[in-house]
Structure 1
Amino acid sequence: MHEEAPQPEAPYWFHDDGIRVLLEAMRRFRLADTGMRRRTARAMDMNESDMVALQLVVAAERHGTVVTPNAIANHLDISTASTTKLVDRLEAAGYLVREPHPHDRRSVRLLPTPRAHDEIRARLTLMHAEMERVARAVPEESRAHVAAFLDGMADVLDHQEGIAPLT
């Protein structure tokens, strides 16, 4: 006869079923997002840090801001040597170019190439259309609440310093 495994008395953190369901859905989304980013990076023959850096450069161009190698180093929390190698890889692959910085003669700005834009559009247009379809299904009167929830969760994660040590 097999003994049944003991059942935990209660969930680790979230005792309210509604909160637990909501946070499990968010956790599932985060895992799916991470998987999508890994697959996209792999399909573009780059690693995840390269993908994050390219996203930063594309977003900066869209917003009219300047991205330098130092900004990438700070964003990814990597050394300047690692950043130089990363930028060299993206430049060699034809995803970005270096140009003189418009205000700082000692620095360069990084810009995405037409190839980067073309490949991003080719790989992500369908997914973005599907994401828009799902977002449109959220009732208009609920969208601000959903956005506030996600922004609040992003703030929590942005300010997480690490896991508390076991005592």
Structure 2
Amino acid sequence: MMVEAGHEELAERVSRSLQALTIAEDSARARVCETLKVGVRDFAALRLLLRAHRDGAAMSPKDISQGLAISSASTTALLDRLEKGGHLHRVPHPADRRRVFIELSDKTVRSLSATVDEESSRVSRAIADLPATTAEGIIEFLDRLHAPSIG
């Protein structure tokens, strides 16, 4: 019983820390969304596009739809909003004129890169003194936490 009681206490501490992290992340996301004048889902799409941009990969509307788990109609509306706001543009597919790729505007790449790089630096500082096995344990825990079977 002592192990279970200790486990429950530890689980509660982890839950509280995750809640505090979620609140801090929500607050930071809200500030960035306000600066960029976009909604939360739009911001998620922009981050997805930035990741592809940094990887040198092209993204289609279908890729965005799948990445965000939203319908094609919702994706079209989202892309229309972001294009109207100057955050992205549609580029014709080089081989298939019926298809398009989505590219971020240079200004949005700069704005998002600053945000993502700051977040990455914060994570790097937080794990700098941790043993590699501890960092690997954190990764495994977070992967388990967001895995569909946990839900």
Indicate whether the TM-score tops 0.5: yes
Deviation at 1:115, TM superposition (A): 0.8
CA contact (8 A) 2:33 2:43 kept: yes
Aligned residue type for 2:53: E
- 1:50 deviates by 1.0
Q: Of 40, 48, 58, which aligns to 1:66?
A: 58
Give the AA of the match of 1:130: R
Aligned partner of 1:32 in structure 2 is: 24
State TM-score, norm by structure 2. 0.79
User: Aligned partners of 1:63 and 1:122: how far apart in 2?
Assistant: 17
The residue number in structure 2 matching 1:87 is 79
Q: What are the ranges of 5 or more consecutive residues in structure 1 without an aligned counterpart?
A: 1-13, 161-167
The alpha carbon displacement at 1:127 in A equals 4.1
The aligned counterpart of 1:150 is 142
Larger radius of gyration: 1
Distance 1:103-1:16 versus aligned 2 partners, 3 A rule: farther
**% same residue:** 28
Structure 2 unmatched runs, 5+: 1-5
Q: 2:103 aligns with which of 111, 116, 134?
A: 111
The amino acid across from 1:64 in the alignment is G
Give the count of matched residue pairs.
146
Cα separation, partners in 2 of 1:103 and 1:35, compared to 1, 3 Å: farther
Q: What CA RMSD, in Å, does the superposition of the two structures yield over aligned residues?
A: 2.5
Residue identity opposite 1:150 in structure 2: L
